[in-house]
């Protein structure tokens, strides 16, 4: 399977409550595969992901992990199909490799969780920088982007099971979208794609087709994203870190309503 193929056809029997199996159909199913991430031949993590846009993923994941701050700090990326999954080999300069060696650990992480394998509570709840980016987005522009999002979800249209992360201009137009079986992978891919294209994430906002959990808020904050909109609800931790770091967080966003957390008092 080539790295630009995120789905494959599977045959199914269609079951009905009154007649049992009545027909056979073919559906496109999203690909979920182990992706082993290596830096300078050192194993760092194994993530469950959809093997598309893997170079974007390599850059975005590296930025979210704090191993690089710019796309050009990655010297090379090689995505190799192995017997049991994929190997993503990333080359970084010596000064960045020191961060890898200091933090290297073998981790296996399910697609539903971006924090599996953290070494301790302090690492999970690490201090976050303030978001310095500021953006003026009207409610109408946000709802415009929400209404247009489905048309940009190509993989989800095929499979019905892909998360999307979309980068939007202040007027609500969608400029770039990345998809994956994992919501945090989709966000990492988008962060990496923006960095590769030299697009300033501070100049727009991001929509995620997911609930907003802690790790998604952390990724947005570390990327200096001024505004994050999620289709499903946010957790209490996500709301807390967003408020403390200056990230505008809007959740449970639908075409006709959305929730903006009010500042906590006391």
> What pLDDT is attached to residue 170?
98
Choosing from 113, 168, 212, 225, the catalytic residue is 113
> What pLDDT is attached to residue 79?
96
Between 191 and 13, the higher pLDDT residue: 191
What pLDDT band is residue 110 in, cutting at 50, 70 and 90? Answer: very low
**165-212 tens-digit pLDDT:** 999 999 999 999 999 999 999 999 999 999 999 999 999 999 999 999
Evaluate whether 212 touches 233 at the Cβ level (below 8 Å): yes
Evaluate whether 173 touches 151 at the Cβ level (below 8 Å): no
> What pLDDT is attached to residue 83?
92
In terms of Cα–Cα distance, which of 131, 128, 130, 106 is closest to 119? 106
Q: Put the strands of the sheet holding 108-109 in their side by side order.
A: 76-81, 86-91, 33-39, 42-49, 108-109
> Rg of the chain over CA atoms, in angstroms?
19
List, as one string, the DSSP characters of 57-90.
Answer: HHHHHHHHTTS-SSGGG--EEEEEE-SSSEEEEE
C-alpha 23 chain-centroid distance: 37
**Which range has the worst mean pLDDT, 45-54, 114-123, 147-156?**
114-123
Q: Is the pLDDT assigned to residue 60 strictly greater than 80? A: yes
* Active site (annotated) includes residue 113: yes
Cα–Cα distance, 202 to 184 (Å, whole number): 19
CB atoms near residue 252 (< 10 Å):
16
Q: Is the pLDDT assigned to residue 236 strictly greater than 90? A: yes
Q: How far apart are the two ends of the chain, measured CA to CA in Å?
A: 54
Q: What does the block give as tokens for 166?
A: 């979309």
Distances (CA, A) of 71 to 98, 154, 169, 193, 260: 17, 26, 21, 9, 32
> What pLDDT is attached to residue 22?
77
Mean per-residue pLDDT, 8-22? 85
The mean of the pLDDT values for the chain is: 90
Mean per-residue pLDDT, 129-145? 96
Cα–Cα distance, 182 to 213 (Å, whole number): 13
Its pTM stands at 0.90
Mean per-residue pLDDT, 51-77? 96
Q: Is the pLDDT assigned to residue 109 strictly greater than 60? A: no
Q: Which residues contact 206 (CB under 8 A, 6 or more apart)?
A: 165, 166, 167, 168, 187, 190, 220, 225, 227, 228, 229
Mean per-residue pLDDT, 16-23? 78
Question: Tokens 């000064």 sit at which residue?
Answer: 95
Distances (CA, A) of 110 to 66, 71, 96, 205: 20, 26, 26, 27
Evaluate whether 205 touches 247 at the Cβ level (below 8 Å): no
């Amino acid at each position: 399977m080539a790295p630009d193929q995120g789905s494959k056809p599977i045959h199914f029997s269609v079951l009905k409550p009154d007649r049992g199996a009545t027909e056979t159909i073919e559906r496109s199913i999203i690909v979920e595969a182990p992706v082993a991430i290596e830096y300078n031949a050192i194993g760092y993590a194994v993530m469950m992901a959809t093997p598309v846009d893997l170079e974007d993923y390599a850059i975005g994941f590296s930025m979210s992990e704090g191993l690089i701050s710019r796309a050009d700090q990655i010297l090379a990326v090689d995505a190799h199909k192995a017997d049991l999954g994929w190997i993503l080999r990333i080359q970084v300069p010596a000064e960045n490799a020191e961060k890898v060696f200091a933090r290297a650990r073998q981790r296996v992480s399910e697609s539903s969780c971006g924090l599996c394998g953290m070494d301790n509570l302090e690492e999970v709840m690490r201090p976050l920088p303030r978001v310095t980016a500021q953006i003026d987005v009207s409610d109408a522009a946000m709802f415009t982007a929400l209404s247009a999002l489905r048309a940009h979800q190509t993989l989800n249209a095929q499979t019905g099971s892909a998360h999307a992360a979309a980068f939007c201009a202040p007027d609500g137009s969608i400029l770039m979208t990345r998809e994956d079986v994992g919501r945090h992978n989709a966000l990492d891919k988008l962060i990496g794609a923006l960095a590769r294209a030299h697009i300033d994430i501070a100049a727009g906002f991001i929509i995620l087709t997911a609930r907003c959990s802690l790790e998604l808020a952390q990724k947005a904050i570390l990327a200096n994203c001024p505004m994050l909109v999620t289709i499903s609800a946010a957790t209490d931790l996500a709301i807390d870190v967003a408020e403390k770091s200056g990230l505008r967080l809007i959740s449970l966003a639908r075409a006709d309503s959305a929730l903006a957390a009010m500042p906590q008092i006391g």
